[in-house]
Structure 1
Amino acid sequence: MTAQNTTTAPAPEAPEERRGLRAALRWTAAVLVFAAAGAGTAYGITRADRTDVPGLSTEADGRWTYPALAKPTLPPGAALPFATDNKDGIHYAGLTQLLLPAPLGSTPDTGLKLEKDSAVTVDTLLEEYEGTARAKMKQGFTDNGLRQIAARGWTTPDGTRTRVYLLRFHASGLAVTFTGCGPDMNLSGVNRIETDDAWGRARGAQAAPDPTGVTVLEEPVPFGDEQVRAGCVQSGDIQAVILQSRKGGATAVPLHQAVILQQQLLG
């Protein structure tokens, strides 16, 4: 099976009122502040009103500068995810519109095997995992209704390589069956991965939106030539897998930033 089918799910009938428009208020003025790991500093991400979410400027804590993010365009009559008439959180926008854009100053990851409309095959995604885990994962995709995978990858000047994968399933109840992003994930070349304590401490110390569906992980010391960090965001019918790696060690803040922004795009 491949996941390069780009068929868009049929839009529901237009509601009598545009309740989906009211659901856009989910994008208003909620602020996340997370402590930068080991630095005693903090950074904030602000959700903007209506259509735009501002990109974040690079600060001394290691943030990257992203282009302004915009809410994806929906087919006519389609409801926003988690609107009153779309409680299952189905995303009707194209996956490419939902992908986190690359930060300014980065270069595209030419090693990522992209097809039309940023689609990738199941086999391409599975290259991120140990060979012994791939057959079981592939069968799970068949059994649990995987529809599409889209991806984007880049490398920043400091050598950090980022890959963002969005997996679209037929329903949210199927998306939650995905086991390839979490403490038990079996990434290629990674002996062990565990919860990122810096993320957990910061989330516990600061007022933040509902963290349901978000997991942030790090490869603990000692690691090999490079360290891997992972972010998991499950939102309705979509599961996001964000991987960052860097020789000598990957810093925490860029992954935290990417996770929060990707969560905002998914609503």
Structure 2
Amino acid sequence: MSGLPITNALTIDVEDYFQVSALAPYIPREQWDSRECRVERNVERILLMLDEAQTRATFFTLGWVAERYPQLVRRIVAGGHELASHGYGHQRASDLSEAEFSADISSAKKLLEDISGEEVKGYRAPSFSIGEANLWAFDCLARAGYRYSSSIYPIRHDHYGMPNAPRFAHHVRDGLLELPVTTLRYFDRNWPASGGGYFRLLPYALSRWLLRKVNQRDQQPAIFYFHPWEIDAEQPRIAGISTKTRFRHYVNLQYTEARIRRLLGDFSWGRMDEVFLASALRPPMVN
């Protein structure tokens, strides 16, 4: 061991508050263009935060957002960050046929590359919606020219999850890596350690402990993710949603930016492509 801290991968899923899968039953897609968009200002806040911390990250960006805010996409790239694909319209991979999924990921990749002038190497499925029932999605991603996916969450969850999947980077097709978001193996179970709603709900000290355990015990880089709307406590409240959805979406929004700033100082961070593609992968761990 070199004694240097492991560089983890910081990722942002670029979507607006009204595009979240949990809110889909309440906000029809045909209403998206009539909603107040807040994604541009929130991503600008994130870019400033990352610049102050001298940190580069990967932005998994919806084609829908890129089409409406092309200058934002160019600012992401100009800041030294990696631009990656989150599909076009935030449709779960598990809700699409193979042909529909291929069209979605191919059109999003082309759109992002045309706007940015950069190769788009990575893809993340909305709501981590690649699982045992649609592993054909990896064939589609390989054909479309992606080099990695970060679409599996190896936990049990009511909306997603593939708990028996490998916890760390592994090849799923020739030339295609799957980079699962991070979990900690503890008491014969995988525990979420990657961000999102868990990061807002759990005490910061616990989230930090989980990530440190992965770095120290597993000797593997962690993958952390969050959304621009998670730093926006002033976002419009959606009426009529269930108590469970309201809690999951709005809990501790007012604290998220401060927690992310702490996270940036407590760990070493980089882009997905630089952490996982720029050098040889560590051997996979036994789970």
Fold shared per TM-score above 0.5: no
- Higher strand fraction: Structure 1 or Structure 2? 1
Looking at both structures, which has the greater relative contact order when contacts are Cα pairs under 8 Å and sequence separation is at least 6?
A: 2
Normalized against structure 2, the TM-score is what?
0.30
- Higher helix fraction: Structure 1 or Structure 2? 2
Normalized against structure 1, the TM-score is what?
0.31
